[in-house]
Amino acid sequence: MNADLFGQWVETNRAAWVPVVRWQEVTAETTQKAVAQGLAVAQDYVEFGTRNAQLLGEVKDPSRWALEQGKLASEFGQKMVSRTADYLKFALETQDAFGQIAETLAKTAAGTNNGGDSKTTL
């Protein structure tokens, strides 16, 4: 009898920690993606600044410089649009992952309150 009670206690504790561990995994993945995204944007800014400085040193005609500067700014703008789309995609993926965890917890809580099986799997 005591072994059954202990087994239930162990299973209940294990099930309670499954969503916590998954939450931490999603958080770590999100942090890693956010840092990589930030580094990529910083690299784009450095590249833009470097190319702009090179352009200032190479082009002597102001009208040609303005034209080249416009091209450079357009390329940079396109990169930023692409980075923003990438960020939005990963933000939505993260939102979905956290939503799935919350949904699983809600179902588990509903099952527990209704006398159902309270096992949690993610």
pTM of the model: 0.71
Q: Provide the pLDDT for residue 13.
A: 78
Q: Provide the pLDDT for residue 122.
A: 52
Q: Provide the pLDDT for residue 108.
A: 78
Q: Provide the pLDDT for residue 107.
A: 83
How would you write the chain as a 3-class SS string? Answer: CHHHHHHHHHHHHHHHHHHHHHHHHHHHHHHHHHHHHHHHHHHHHHHHHHHHHHHHHHCCCHHHHHHHHHHHHHHHHHHHHHHHHHHHHHHHHHHHHHHHHHHHHHHHHHHHHCCCCCCCCC
Return the higher-pLDDT residue of 14 and 75. 75
pLDDT tops 80 at residue 113: no
Q: What is the mean pLDDT of residues 38-62?
A: 94
| pLDDT, tens digit (0-9, with 9 covering 90-100), for 70-102 | 999 999 999 999 999 999 999 999 999 999 999
